[in-house]
């Protein structure tokens, strides 16, 4: 989850990209920048107080010249304002903001075995219909499920696993009223 400061900077870049009609290019370049600055050695370098912001910006300059002007200026502004920490979160925060703009959301589906892409897409489509938005799911294998799936999306859990169904049945049986013979 991005900080409030990161959110404000990302929102400003997002609105600028929308205004200029360059959202796709800015999103791609922010993803590229995010990948570059998420490397542990780069994170350590960016958070090193012994290195000046000018030196940090200079190290990224070769990458910046290949990016959209808005993204390059965004990164330079972060160093100018001594907000290098925002850069580490900005790529992911921008990606999530673009998803929100498109009316899409991400989630994960846990299963006992790896699901094939068609199964994941079918499940995403069904859940998307329920939520009224596009859903993008990533599969995670959890052998303890034995069978079925458990889906986490938009702070919800849809438990369609064998274990979840058995727990639900147990709960219903415990709550059932017994007739007086």
Per-domain boundaries in the chain: 4-101, 104-175
Percentage of the chain beyond pLDDT 70 is 97
Distance between CA atoms of residues 136 and 15, nearest Å? 24
Write phi, then psi, for 179 (nearest 5 degrees).
-70, 150
pTM, rounded to two decimals: 0.73
CB 64 within 8 A of CB 76: yes
Helix (H, G, I), strand (E, B) or coil at 57: helix
- Name the H helices within 21-140: 23-37, 40-47, 53-64, 69-80, 84-101, 117-131
Does CATH place domain 4-101 in 1.10.520.20?
Answer: yes
Query: Per-residue pLDDT tens for 46-102?
Result: 888 899 999 999 999 999 999 999 999 999 999 999 998 899 899 999 999 999 999
- Sort residue 21 into left (φ over 0), alpha (ψ -120 to 50) or beta: left
User: What CATH number does the domain located at 104-175 have?
Assistant: 3.40.30
CB 56 within 8 A of CB 45: yes
CB 83 within 8 A of CB 129: no
Question: What integer is the mean pLDDT of 37-41?
Answer: 90
Residue 84: count other Cβ atoms within 10 Å of its Cβ.
21
């Amino acid at each position: 989850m991005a900080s409030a400061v990161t959110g404000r900077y990302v929102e400003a870049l997002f609105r600028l990209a929308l205004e200029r009609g360059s959202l796709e290019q800015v999103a791609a370049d922010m993803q590229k920048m995010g990948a570059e600055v998420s490397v542990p050695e780069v994170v350590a370098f960016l958070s090193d107080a012994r290195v000046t912001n000018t030196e940090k910006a200079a190290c990224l300059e070769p990458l910046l010249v290949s990016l959209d002007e808005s993204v390059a200026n965004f990164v330079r502004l972060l160093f100018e304002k001594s907000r290098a920490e925002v850069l580490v979160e900005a790529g992911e925060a921008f990606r999530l903001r673009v998803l929100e703009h498109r009316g899409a959301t991400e989630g994960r589906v846990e299963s006992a075995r790896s699901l094939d892409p068609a199964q994941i897409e079918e499940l995403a489509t069904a859940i998307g219909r329920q939520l009224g938005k596009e859903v993008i799911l990533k599969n995670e294998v959890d052998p303890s499920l034995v069978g079925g799936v458990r889906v986490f999306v938009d702070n919800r859990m849809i438990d369609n696993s064998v274990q979840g169904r058995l727990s639900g049945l147990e709960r219903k049986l415990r709550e059932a009223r017994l007739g007086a013979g």
